[in-house]
Structure formats: structure tokens, C-alpha cells
Amino acid sequence: MELKCVIVDDEPLALNLLEDYIKRTPFLKLVARCGSGVEALRAINENDVDLAFIDIQMPGLNGLELSKMVEDCAIVFTTAFEQYAIEGFKVNAIDYLLKPFSYAEFLVAANKALKQIEIVRAAKTGSYPPTPVNIVVKAGYRQQIINTNEILYVEGVRDYIKINMEDGTNIQTLMSLKAAEEMLPEKNFIRVHRSFIVNIDKVKTIERNNIVFGKQYIPISDSYRDNFNRLFSSKTINW
């Protein structure tokens, strides 16, 4: 699924950053960059926009006022002022990005919007669309596209994560395990320990409350065991 989006901010540098982030994200397509709320309202109505990244504090028509005037468009607020968070969620914003925010934070918000829009469209059509399988992470100085179907498990190591792939390689990126959990397709990935997320479709062997991937044993902690067993059972037939 591709989401048509607009970015709204009265600061050109902020627009440039958002445009760069969108270009890095495979499922987002920028259709308009707007320097005011009035300009954004026209762009949203004319382009059948799915998602808008909107700065709150703008002259004239501000972001909160703009969000109340648009329909069928998901909203992610971007602002330098934390006190607007409560007001933002009162108008059913998908997420709230506090400036300055990283690409990882932006991607988490974009993925939240994608999942929400999928649910809304599924309710209208009666069918659930396939979840995009690609995510983008920063590995060193590179942006790397990862096919989530090729991930075995993700391990949290202090302030970064290690994404372990099916081919035996791993990719390290500065991100919390919680952010990774929100980014990954929830119907395929599940937290099994405070330090591990696994791809449930790749689980073949369980031994004494440990998931076995070759020589790697991943513990299933008590607090996550019921959720894991429920999802695992839904994908298997017990003889």
C-alpha cells in the first residue's frame, strides 16, 4: 500500500527534513509541501491525501484548526512544544513528533499511520490488505531496506538493536526495542522477552520454554508466554 501525504510547516528547513524522511520511506508518496494551513487545506482536498504531517504552531490557520477541517486524512503532528500533545490527541492524531525528531521516530509514526489506514480500509472493503514487508533502518552511514520476511529475530542490546536475518547476517541500528516492535508487522512479530522479538513464522523448534534458531536459544519469559502461545497456536495444528 502506498500512502499519499502532505507536509505542513511554515519553516522551510522543517519541510526539507520531512521531505527527506518521506523519500527514504518506501510506502510514502509526497504530493504537496505546504507553508501554511490554508495552502494545506486546499492540497488535502484536491489530492485525496491519506496522511498529513502538520506543524501545530503556524500563523493564520494553525495545525489544530486545520486538523478539524479535514476528513478521511490521518494526522501526525510535528511541533517543538510539548504542551500541545494533549490537544493533539483530542483531535485523534495518529502520533505526535516532538522536534527535533529522528528518522527512526518518524518511521514509527508513519508505520502507526499505515496500520491504522489499513484497518479503516479493511472495514470498508471487508478484506484485510497485505502488510508491507519492507522497513528502512539506518545502519552506520547507510539507509538499508530490510524485507521483514527474512528476519528471524530482533535483539535489544543497551541503546541499539541487532536484527538477525535468515541468511545468518545481522544489522545493527540505533533504536529501542520498543520502537522496533511498533515498526514491525504485528501479525508476524511478537515480543517474547524484554530483550527479544521473534518472527513467529520462522519458529520451528521450542525447547523448554526456549525458541531455537540454530545455536541460538531465545527465552520465552513468563510475562510474554501466554501471548506467544496464543499466536503460535493460531498458526499451527497440534497433533
Task: List C-alpha distances in Å: 144 to 45, 125, 139, 163.
Answer: 34, 33, 7, 12
DSSP three-state, residue 71: coil
CA–CA separation, 100 and 137 (whole Å): 18
CA–CA separation, 85 and 159 (whole Å): 25
In the chain, where the domains are located:
3-125, 134-234
CA–CA separation, 77 and 59 (whole Å): 16
Q: What's the confidence (pLDDT) of residue 145? A: 81
Q: What's the confidence (pLDDT) of residue 36? A: 95
pLDDT > 60? residue 131: no
CA–chain centroid gap for 211, Å, is 26
Neighbours of 235 (CB within 10 A): 11
Can you name the CATH fold of 3-125? Rossmann fold (3.40.50)
User: CATH number of the domain at 134-234, please?
Assistant: 2.40.50.1020
| pTM of the complete model | 0.57
Q: What's the confidence (pLDDT) of residue 94? A: 84
